[in-house]
Structure 1
Amino acid sequence: MSIPSNETKQKRTLWQWISFITPYVYSTGIVFIIGWMLSAAVINGIETVKAHSWKAFFLPTNENTHSNEQSWVNVIAHSIIDSNLNNIIFRGIFFLLIWVTLFLMIPVAFTRLKRFKLFNFEFEVEDKEQAAIQTVEINGGKAKLMAYLTSDDASGKLFDFLDGTVINYQEALMYFLDEIQAGYRQHFNASFSYMVQKEGLPPQIEDLSDESRETGEAVLRNKTDNDNLLKKNYLVYYFCLENNTFTTVLSSYQHQFDIFDKYLIELLHNIINKNVENIEYMVALTSEDEENETA
């Protein structure tokens, strides 16, 4: 027996991709500038040693055209300015300052920072009160979903999947997962894909499935860096159906699963199991009564 999967392709927005590649572009730029400084210094050193001597490597290679009456400060200043090595160092430092300042001026650079301090100036990047309110609203919405699953409306919806005296568990599970998926996308701006499989799970999901089987609870695993768009967050639940074992897998590139998601998925499976048993038992009794009356 197999249960259809709904692996809706999650679209990663342009802003998410920009946030993802920004640290790599930033690091690459710094490495490139430092690499240029080192390579230019090595090339300059080799050419200077060949043309003059090791002493000329740190001193100006051109002849002193300045007046002998100049002060010692001017002599030292001209020596520093006329040195090719010093020019390379100063130019590299200038490029580094420009590069770092550029990324500090771009809002994308602040997406991972909660507070940034530069000298005596401190910048708050995230509104803590707004974030707290948003968290409460999201958790409240998930609590409403749990209340809906335990309501009479959700129980009555299972009659739509009644085939004779048996409820099609697969279709019922798919229906409620679709409802939860749509609710997350609409109210929480969070998208996820789901699949229900009997076998053939990837190794990382297989480990989570085994852990869920041992604990009897849903298991979640979020990636360390949520901005990494090459990995996913997972919520896995192992369950039995008609002497067969299945695993429900929720995955998302952006949404980090929490304890409310864990309880929601556990509640969904438990409520469906309980209501299916009650409805099928009630239908079976009703059918027997009708048969007896007919007889």
Structure 2
Amino acid sequence: MSDVRVLGTGAYVPERIVTNDEVGTAAGGDDAWITRKTGMKQRRWAAPGQATSDLATEAARAALTSAGITADHLSAIVVATSTPDRPQPPTAAYVQHHLGATNAAAFDVNAVCSGTVFALSAAEGILARQGGHALVIGADIYSRILNPTDRKTVILFGDGAGALVLGATGQGPRIRHMTQHTFGELSHLIHVPAGGSRHPLDHPALDAGRQYFAMTGRDVARFVTDHLPPLTKQFLHEAGVTPDDIRHFVPHQANGRLLETVFTDLALPNATMHQTLTHYANTGAASLPITLDAAARQGAFHPGDLVLLAAFGGGMAAGLALIEW
């Protein structure tokens, strides 16, 4: 069992609200259809001058305030994102500079929508060896990589950031167990075709629209429903708890209809599932920490409650974490 504690949480979403009717106009969908298919009513999109690091910095400041520490106490900053400010340097370096966290090493993790759990594991390992405090941030601006006419994707995503401050010592919720999985043979299900070393973002790529996020939705849903329940059962067994012990389920906010199916299949009889997708849609790596922060600030968690975090996304990847509140 880990001795690493969650000392504080925070979140930030942009000011601009984008309704279903607005996002659906170019994509051929309206509010009724989008709500029925996804459970989403609106999302937030970043302003033209905002980058992923800006959202991440605001969420980080909220988490530091919640934890009651200042940025100079941080020894590590890990940003989970698949929409970085630039291909390099890491977005975390900008966050470190914005915060004035001069004592923190800073790096990015890209496991797409599973990224925050992967980042938590990395930060926990650093704290277990070195002590101190770490900042874990999930942040994405998907509005910049969406094809506005592709209704399979553009209706699903919003922009935002969520953060957690971790401490090697102190009081607070304890991270009891974590695990991560990658199924690389399915990496084609979610991808951005161009912009990397295999297919540079040249004029032919731009003309073909290969700069946009692409997803095979039905196969992604099948991956989640086929893999997440057995992975979760195995995870809980390894953690030494039963499904009956779980009081809260905080999943990646992929799609409301998909989450209903998953929650039923997981068979967690005493758990409450927490959602923020109605107002924020799918914010990528940010969706899990945004939802965790929302539930925490609403007073949903009580001492001793077991909180199950579940993330899944491109790679294909899945990450699970168990927090004892």
Bin for the TM-score computed over the shorter chain: under 0.3
Question: Going by fraction, where is strand more abundant, 1 or 2?
Answer: 2
TM-score normalised by length of structure 1:
0.23
Q: Which has the greater radius of gyration?
A: 1
Question: Going by fraction, where is helix more abundant, 1 or 2?
Answer: 1
Highest RCO, 1 vs 2 (Cα 8 Å, sep ≥ 6): 2
